Every structure is written in structure tokens, then in C-alpha cells.
Amino acid sequence: MMKKQNNRYSDSNQQYDEIEYALYCDGLEKQYKEAKEVGLFEILKVLELDKEHSDNKLVQAIDYFNGKGGIVEKDAPIEFLTEREKRIVNRDGKFRPDLYCMLLSIKFSEAIQNKSAFIQHSLKYAFDSE
């Protein structure tokens, strides 16, 4: 009986986490217009990634974003997203481009910080083979 209760508790926590994350993403999506106005996405256009040493999935998504002039559609590459993010970006079969752009900018920033992406022609954020 105890094991069954633990499973219910675990399932409830997982559902709560999913709802909480969905609400977080809804909030991100609402910030898109302001982020665009202040030029957040210009960083993705201006900073050139070192394609040889950076996360290939992220490079592909940023190349798509730049190739489309920042206008993303449902054919946008989503391999750089987690499974949960993929579900939320395509919630109810509807692609959410504003949320996609917000997640892309977050993933870009995280990748620079954790050194899974490197910026061309940068002293501080370039690939260091040493």
C-alpha cells in the first residue's frame, strides 16, 4: 500500500512540475514583445558562433533564426530543446514562435556560459583548445 501512495505522490509532483513549468513558459512568451523591442534577439544576429566547436543543434537553430530574419515558423529546428520544451512549444498542436524565440535566446546564453557554444572573434568567449 505504501508503494502505491508513493507513486501517487510522485505522479502528483510530476504533474505539478509540468504545470509550473508550463506557467513559466507562458510568462516567457508574454515577455517576447518587450524583449524584441529592447533588442534581445539582435544578439543572435550579431554574434557569430564558432560552428566547428559549438553545439551543433544550437548552431542549426540560430542559423535558421537568422536565415528567416528572426521570423520563425513551425518548421524551425527544435532539437536543441528538451522534450518538455518541445511539447510546450507545440502545445495542442499549435506552434508558439514567441516562446521558441525566448527559449532560443535563453539556450544561447546558457551555452555561452557553460562553454557548449563559442563566439567567433571573441577573446573571452572563443574556443580555447588549451
Integer Cα distance of 117 and 54 in angstroms: 4
59 within 8 A of 127, measured Cβ to Cβ: no
pTM of the predicted model as reported, rounded to 2 decimal places: 0.80
Predicted local distance difference test score (pLDDT) of residue 14? 72
50 within 8 A of 126, measured Cβ to Cβ: yes
Domain annotation covers residue 21? yes
Domain annotation covers residue 128? no
Domain annotation covers residue 54? yes
What is the mean pLDDT of the segment spanning 67-77?
Answer: 95
Number of domains within the chain: 1
Predicted local distance difference test score (pLDDT) of residue 28? 92
Range of the domain at 31: 2-113
Identify the H or E element spanning 95.
none
Domain annotation covers residue 126? no
Predicted local distance difference test score (pLDDT) of residue 126? 54
What is the mean pLDDT of the segment spanning 34-44?
Answer: 89
Domain annotation covers residue 125? no
